[in-house]
A = this chain, B = another copy of it.
Amino acid sequence: MITQIVLGIDIGGTNADFAFIDREGIILYKANLPSDEYNTANSFVQLVKRMAEEAMTKLKKQLVIRGIGIGAPNGNYYRGTIEFAPNMRWEGIIPLAEYFRMAFGVPSFLTNDANAAAIGERMFGNAKNVDDFIMITLGTGLGSGIVSNGRLIYGHDGFAGELGHVIVKENGRKCGCGRRGCLETYASVTGLKRTVVKLLKTGEFTSELEGLNFNQLSGKMVEKAALNGDELALEAFAKTGKVLGKAMANAVAFSSPKLIVFFGGLAQAGELIIKPTKYEMEKSMLRIYQNKIPIIASGLKGNEAALLGAAALAWKELGIV
């Protein structure tokens, strides 16, 4: 029996995952390869091809690759390109979807990682059949994928959904984008760590995180401290949720979603981040929106969500699911 699959690819700054994924979202094979050792994107594509071919011969099933879906930082859906990704070795504009199409001879689609996560959540996660929701990825930065009328909002140029760069505080924290006060400088793993460092400096708290600097801290450490009842860590989550909740209230006024889904490192802290965010969001919203928009954690496993999202993009674009 022939099994139809797509190749789902999740590209990060240093590593990439790829997987064979069927129409039900079952991962039949998964592999990891570095994305920073190769001088050209094309040689990366060739390596994926060799690895995929080897895997196909080893697997007992008869597989047919129908298409390829790629999630990548600064990915542009319309052009199938990665454009000026700050943390990647490949500089400038990389027509990656085209490279994959040429290498494998099948339709290839690309979008940014947060959009891929939103598509994956809608197809395989906690937003099944939800036509209006907002996906927020809380990792090193803050990404967003906004689904409205059952479709992802790409905007006229493919760059919609950059909620991480909504300015929430005038002359606020310096952002990697060159501006100040962007949402992601407060609401992300990085933002949480910055808040912890700031709170440590006040000397107002005794905390198990004392003595650690920004680079020594991790989101997981702050989460663990908070779960131990550490006041400073709890205050850091409360402050992060406050900023994020206000931003979510404004986002709701834009697209009136049925649901908000949090995903990524900071989202794994669950209620520690969701509770203060939800509280502030409810407080900040117009009455017509109140008490009807849940914030929930993603239904996709951390290391598989991006892959499933990329695969979902391919299945969706192929018109098969």
Contacts and interface: CB of A to CB of B under 8 A. Distances in A.
A6 interface: no
A177 B256 contact: no
Nearest to A148: B153
A105 to B, nearest CB: 30
Contacts of A155: 132, 148, 255-258
Interface string A242-260: 0000100111011111100
Interface residues of A, number: 41
Contacts of A59: none
- How many monomers of this protein are in the complex? 2
Contacts of A284: 167, 179
B255 A178 contact: no
A250 B178 contact: no
Contact of A249 (B163, B167, B256): B167
A162 B258 contact: no
Nearest to A170: B246
A161 interface: yes
A256 B287 contact: no
B149 A153 contact: yes
B253 A157 contact: no
A111 to B, nearest CB: 13
Interface string A136-179: 00000000001011010111111111110111000000000111
A320 interface: no
Contact of A178 (B131, B148, B159, B287): B287
A289 interface: yes
A157 B292 contact: yes
A47 interface: no
A227 interface: no
Most buried by B among A160, A162, A178, A253: A253
A132 to B, nearest CB: 4
Contact of A286 (B177, B251, B286): B177
A156 B249 CA distance: 15
A289 B156 CA distance: 11
A14 to B, nearest CB: 23
A166 B287 CA distance: 13
A167 B283 CA distance: 12
A253 to B, nearest CB: 4
5 contacts: A131-B156, A148-B153, A153-B256, A166-B254, A179-B284
Given A148-B153, A167-B249, 13 more contacts: A130-B156, A146-B254, A146-B255, A153-B255, A154-B256, A155-B255, A155-B256, A155-B257, A162-B288, A167-B250, A167-B284, A177-B286, A179-B284
